[in-house]
Chain A
Amino acid sequence: MSFESDLLAILPRLRRFAASLSQDRADGDDLCQAALEKALRARDQWQPGTRLDSWMYRIIRNVWIDEGRARQRAARTFAPEEAGADVGDAGDRGVEAHVMLSDVDRAMQALPPEQREAIALVLVEGLSYKEAAEVLGVPMGTLTSRLVRGRGALIAMLGEAA
């Protein structure tokens, strides 16, 4: 099996992870594509025998963090953050995406990045705490406290019936 076929095999999961971090599905695919391009360029850094999915989760997460910083700078220029869902659309796609946005998407977006990525890896991707902590490069205790806070916030936003 080649590097590319291995990537193709895990791509459905990578797209899902990217979608759970991103504001909508289109942004998720853009994130996934940027991460794939990065991975193909850096293929020599992947060590055969180690988990390709963990390596890819890490790359997606790093690209997302970098893009998030850039987006935040841009957002501060255009609109106050609390303006939320009603303003600040970049174009037609943004308007459409907001219309389609579900409660779950909105609640995930409201989480701080460090809670969102922990929730995405464990609750969406089904990683164990140990695997998720390794992807994020944090101790287990840090991961579990992010999970506790993130879940509490989600339940508060989505209601007890979650």
Chain B
Amino acid sequence: MSMIDEAMLIAWVDGELDEVNRRRVERALADDPALAERAETHRRLRARLTDHFAPVGEEPVPDRFRTLLAESAAVVSMERPGRSRWRGWATGGAIAASLLLGLGLGRVSGGDGEPVGVRDGVMVAKGQLASVLDDQLAAAQDGAAVRIGLSFRRKGGGWCRSFEGEALAGVACREEQGWQVQQLVPGTGPETTYRQASSGDARVLATVDALREGPPADAAQEAAAREAGWR
């Protein structure tokens, strides 16, 4: 019988032994089929537990958690802009206010047809929404029907912009076909003068957070990106 106790055997299975003890266990395993069988049982147990719970770790994070974190990030950025990553856009305080408070809203569709359509199999912004995404700067949009929230570079390159109007809000990224809509949620509803941050805003913030690389553009970067055609 080998001198390997259960604690040492499972420590071997868990890869916790130093070199000397690891060799000792491996020599014992080679000499003792019963011990080797026991080690195999422990190894299978570990694999079974790991496999059983692995799918939870591979699922996309449910919206309830994204919303919770996005709302927290937004609140923190408003309360103490100096301490958060949102500093980049909080310095243009009006931008944050437009996204969270929904001030000065108008209609998206109105003579220009539908705001969203499908082109080459891709959902893209059309009409006035496309124009807003092309031309409107977040720093200069008093009274605009659709407001730009943030402009930011996405992971893997390219520009994206969040937008918000009465009928719809969301995020679009510049692709070959135009502004591909990444997310579309209900807008702010009929015009109001003051509105609390809604779950819709939180969803948009979560999408921005998931897509963006680095801080959102400041006014100068946004203007330069527009000059370059958002390429």
Chain A residues at the B interface, C-beta cutoff of 8 Å: 1-5, 7-8, 11-13, 15-16, 19-20, 25, 28-29, 32-33, 36-37, 40, 102, 104-105, 108, 119, 122-124, 126, 128-129, 144-145, 147-148, 151-152, 154-155, 158, 160-162
Q: How far is the CA of A15 from the CA of B68 in the complex (A)?
A: 14
Q: How far is the CA of A7 from the CA of B66 in the complex (A)?
A: 10
Pairs A-B, 9 closest by C-beta atoms: A162-B45, A16-B57, A2-B85, A4-B73, A162-B44, A4-B69, A16-B56, A104-B52, A12-B57
Q: Is the interface of B mostly helix, strand, loop or mixed?
A: helix
Contact of B7 among A19, A104, A122, A148 (CB under 8 A): A148
Chain A: minimal CB distance from B184 (Å):
22
Whether, in the assembled complex, B61 has its beta carbon less than 8 Å from a beta carbon of chain A, the answer is yes
Can you add 6 more A-B contacts, CB < 8 Å, to A8-B209, A15-B57?
A15-B59, A16-B57, A40-B69, A129-B16, A155-B42, A158-B48
For A152, list chain B residues within 8 Å (CB): 6
Q: Given that A19-B56, A123-B49, A162-B48 are contacting pairs, would A147 and B10 also be in contact in the complex, using a CB cutoff of 8 Å? A: yes
Contact of A126 among B10, B11, B41, B50 (CB under 8 A): B50
Query: Beta-carbon contacts of B67-98 to A below 8 Å, as 1s and 0s?
Result: 01110110010000000111000000000000
Q: Given that A2-B73, A12-B61, A33-B64 are contacting pairs, would A162 and B41 also be in contact in the complex, using a CB cutoff of 8 Å? A: yes
Q: Given that A2-B84, A7-B69, A33-B65 are contacting pairs, would A20 and B57 also be in contact in the complex, using a CB cutoff of 8 Å? A: no
Q: Is the CB of A124 within 8 A of B50?
A: yes
Whether, in the assembled complex, B53 has its beta carbon less than 8 Å from a beta carbon of chain A, the answer is yes
Q: How far is the CA of A155 from the CA of B46 in the complex (A)?
A: 10
Chain B residues at the A interface, C-beta cutoff of 8 Å: 6-7, 10-11, 14, 16, 41-42, 44-46, 48-50, 52-54, 56-59, 61-62, 64-66, 68-70, 72-73, 76, 84-86, 209-210
Q: Is the CB of A8 within 8 A of B66?
A: yes
Q: How far is the CA of A128 from the CA of B64 in the complex (A)?
A: 31
For A12, list chain B residues within 8 Å (CB): 56-59, 61
Q: Is the CB of A158 within 8 A of B45?
A: yes
Chain A: minimal CB distance from B151 (Å):
19
Q: Is the CB of B84 within 8 A of A144?
A: no
For B57, list chain A residues within 8 Å (CB): 12-13, 15-16
Q: In the complex, what residue of chain B is closest to A104 when comparing beta carbons?
A: B52
Q: How far is the CA of A105 from the CA of B50 in the complex (A)?
A: 12
